[in-house]
């Protein structure tokens, strides 16, 4: 027995020594291969579990049909049009959230639909009134079938409202009421109230003192435009250009709360059909809001894939696009040889080619030899130029040929007794007595704090006629006084502030 125990112990000692020697020699490869095996097993198990989960889901009954449904009518339209250019129709619609994501039992809330319109020859006004009556009936039906209370839709003429009351923030009279905006507008390539309205939207978006999307508390918005295909056959030529601009600015101001794609129609041809489609879409959206409390995922573009893409990458410039195109169109129509001062890049080579063109005087560098060429000096902003039209449309009064005045929104605000700008808080400067004036409408900078828009002429050198300061300075003062006197009629303005102007 003793002998057996001894021999086993000796055997064990030999094996143990061998095992330890082996371990010391091969421990690193052993550890690494163990890890590798464990990771492989773990990965295999993980993949198997996933595959099992997928296989639990029953296959869709008709995958082809489902895919077609998801792509929606856009693809259908693409197939139908077969690449041909046809008038754009309202396509797409509300992308509803999956039922699990929806708040199926929304708290009781009140919704007020505001229908804004503008009209010169009454077509839009009449249509907007009929539309609002029809909408009132629909909202009544929704109210009776859901827990949402729709207040009677209100119709508002853009010519008679204060934009500050509706387009800087949604109205706040009743905190329980949420607003939904509908805009029905024509397009005019002449000066109308819509130019001021568009300017207001643009200024509000670009005003660094307020949020870039101050209308985001709105439930949603949608725009319908009337145009004339006889005079403006395509969108490129200006069909419904102002409705398209309004739609884009509203998308920016609301943080992309476009509830239904922009509708466009020509009263002489397809307006009835297009408006009917748009109305149905809007009503469908309102019903969805009443049932779920939200817009769902909203509509990114107009349902047109191309437009949605463009909007994803666009920035500020896309909205100026229509205005710039309009200016170009006007230049083409006139076929004049006037240079657009905003397009200095294009005009410089012309100046070099033609001997009788004005040469630039660069004040920032010194030339060794004085130029012998006789310069033909032109006006910076001639009265018949597109730049003149564009600047006056923006609210400038052009003084002489290169100076200008404009009323800043803080000046207007101070005249209404609604507060002055930081200059008042810091230095006690009364905003209602300010005079925003410049002796040069051309500026090479686009300063954040400037009261001018960035669309004025841009130039780093002076190559225009110079007005005598003795005439332009008093003229600027007169122009400012004349402009501010327009506010004398405004009931919201404080007479004491006006008198001090
Ligand atoms: C002077 C003038 C300019 C117009 N400019 C455009 C235009 O640039 N683009 C467009 O699509 N329609 C244009 N139209 C057509 C109007 O937008 C269209 O007739 C609209 O239905 C008028 O609406 P209203 O009667 O409500 O003012 C213009 C019409 C006139 C009289």
Domain 89-325 has CATH 3.40.50.360: yes
Check if 124 has its Cβ closer than 6 Å to any atom of ligand 1.
yes
Check if 119 has its Cβ closer than 6 Å to any atom of ligand 1.
yes
Nearest to 319 by CA among 152, 198, 155, 171: 198
In angstroms, the CA 164 to CA 119 distance is: 20
3-state secondary structure 446-481: CCCCCCCCCCCCCCCCECECCCCHHHHHHHHHHHHH
CATH number belonging to domain 339-500: 3.20.20.70
Give backbone dihedrals phi and psi of 64, rounded to 5 degrees, phi first: -65, -45
- Count the neighbouring beta carbons within 10 Å of the beta carbon of residue 422: 12
In angstroms, the CA 246 to CA 157 distance is: 15
Check if 239 has its Cβ closer than 6 Å to any atom of ligand 1.
yes
Nearest to 274 by CA among 223, 219, 198: 223
Are 89-325 and 339-500 the same fold in CATH? no
In angstroms, the CA 474 to CA 399 distance is: 10
Q: Sort 118 into a burial class: Cβ within 10 Å, 0-12 / 13-18 / 19+.
A: buried
Question: 229 alpha carbon to ligand 1 midpoint, in Å?
Answer: 9
Q: Which atom of ligand 1 is nearest to the CA of 187?
A: 17
* Strand residues in 218-271 grouped as ranges (E): 220-226, 263-265
Question: 226 alpha carbon to ligand 1 midpoint, in Å?
Answer: 7
Check if 159 has its Cβ closer than 6 Å to any atom of ligand 1.
no
The tens-digit pLDDT sequence of the chain (501 residues) is: 455 555 667 667 777 788 888 888 888 888 999 999 999 998 888 877 554 444 344 443 333 334 333 433 333 333 344 444 555 655 555 555 444 444 444 556 799 999 999 999 999 999 999 999 999 999 999 999 888 899 999 999 999 999 989 999 899 888 889 999 999 999 999 988 999 999 999 988 888 777 888 999 999 999 999 999 999 999 999 999 999 999 999 999 998 899 999 999 999 999 999 999 999 999 999 998 888 877 765 444 433 333 333 344 344 444 344 444 555 554 444 444 444 444 444 444 444 444 444 444 434 444 444 445 455 678 888 888 877 887 888 788 899 888 888 888 888 888 888 888 888 888 888 878 887 888 888 776 667 666 666 556 666 677 788 888 887 788 888 888 887 777 666 666 666 666 665
Distances (CA, A) of 121 to 125, 164, 185, 192, 276: 8, 26, 12, 12, 21
Check if 224 has its Cβ closer than 6 Å to any atom of ligand 1.
no
Sequence spans of domains, the chain: 1-57, 89-325, 339-500
Pocket test for ligand 1, best of 226, 242, 268, 330 (most atoms within 8 A of CB): 226
SS3 172: coil
């Amino acid at each position: 027995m003793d002998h057996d125990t001894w021999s086993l112990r000796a055997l064990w000692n030999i094996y143990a020594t061998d095992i330890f020697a082996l371990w010391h020699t091969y421990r690193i490869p052993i550890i690494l291969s163990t890890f590798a095996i464990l990771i492989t097993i773990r990965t295999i198990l993980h993949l198997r579990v996933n595959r099992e989960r997928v296989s639990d889901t029953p296959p869709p009954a008709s995958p082809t049909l489902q895919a077609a449904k998801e792509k929606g009518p856009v693809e259908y339209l693409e197939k139908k049009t077969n690449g041909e250019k046809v008038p754009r129709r309202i396509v797409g619609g509300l992308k509803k959230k999956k039922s699990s994501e929806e708040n199926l039992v929304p708290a009781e809330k009140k919704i007020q639909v505001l229908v804004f319109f503008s009209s010169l020859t009454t077509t839009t006004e009449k249509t907007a009134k009929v539309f609002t009556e029809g909408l009132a009936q629909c909202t009544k039906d929704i109210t009776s079938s859901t827990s949402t209370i729709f207040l009677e839709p209100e119709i508002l003429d853009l010519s008679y409202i204060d934009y500050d009351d509706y387009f800087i923030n949604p109205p706040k009279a009743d905190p329980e009421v949420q607003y939904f905006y509908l805009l029905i507008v024509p397009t005019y390539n002449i000066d109308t109230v819509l130019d001021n309205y568009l300017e207001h939207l643009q200024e509000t978006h670009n005003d660094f003192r307020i949020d870039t999307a101050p209308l985001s508390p709105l439930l949603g918005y949608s725009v319908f435009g009337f145009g004339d295909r006889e005079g403006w056959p395509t969108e490129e030529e200006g069909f419904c250009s102002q409705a398209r601009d309004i739609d884009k600015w509203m998308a920016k101001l609301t943080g992309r709360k476009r509830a239904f794609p922009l509708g466009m129609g020509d009263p002489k041809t397809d307006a009835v059909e297009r408006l009917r489609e748009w109305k149905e879409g809007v009503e469908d959206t309102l019903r969805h809001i009443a049932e779920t409390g939200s817009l769902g995922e909203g509509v990114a573009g107009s349902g047109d894939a191309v437009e949605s893409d463009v909007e994803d990458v666009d920035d500020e410039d896309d909205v100026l696009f229509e205005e710039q195109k309009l200016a170009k169109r006007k230049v083409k129509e006139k076929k004049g040889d006037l240079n657009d001062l905003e397009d200095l890049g294009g005009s410089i080579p012309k100046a070099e080619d033609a001997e009788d063109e004005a040469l630039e005087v660069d004040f920032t560098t010194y030339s060794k030899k004085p130029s012998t060429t006789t310069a033909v000096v032109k006006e910076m902003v001639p009265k018949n130029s597109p730049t003149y039209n564009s600047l006056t449309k923006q609210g400038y009064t052009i003084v002489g040929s290169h100076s200008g005045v404009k009323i800043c929104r803080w000046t207007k605000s101070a005249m209404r007794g609604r507060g002055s700008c930081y200059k008042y808080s810091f230095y006690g400067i009364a905003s209602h007595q300010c005079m925003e004036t410049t002796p040069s409408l051309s500026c090479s900078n686009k300063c954040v704090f400037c009261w001018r828009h960035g669309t004025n002429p841009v130039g780093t050198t002076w190559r225009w006629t110079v007005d005598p300061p003795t005439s332009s300075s008093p003229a600027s003062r007169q122009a400012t006084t004349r402009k501010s006197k327009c506010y004398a009629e405004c009931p919201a303005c404080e007479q004491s502030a006006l008198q001090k102007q």
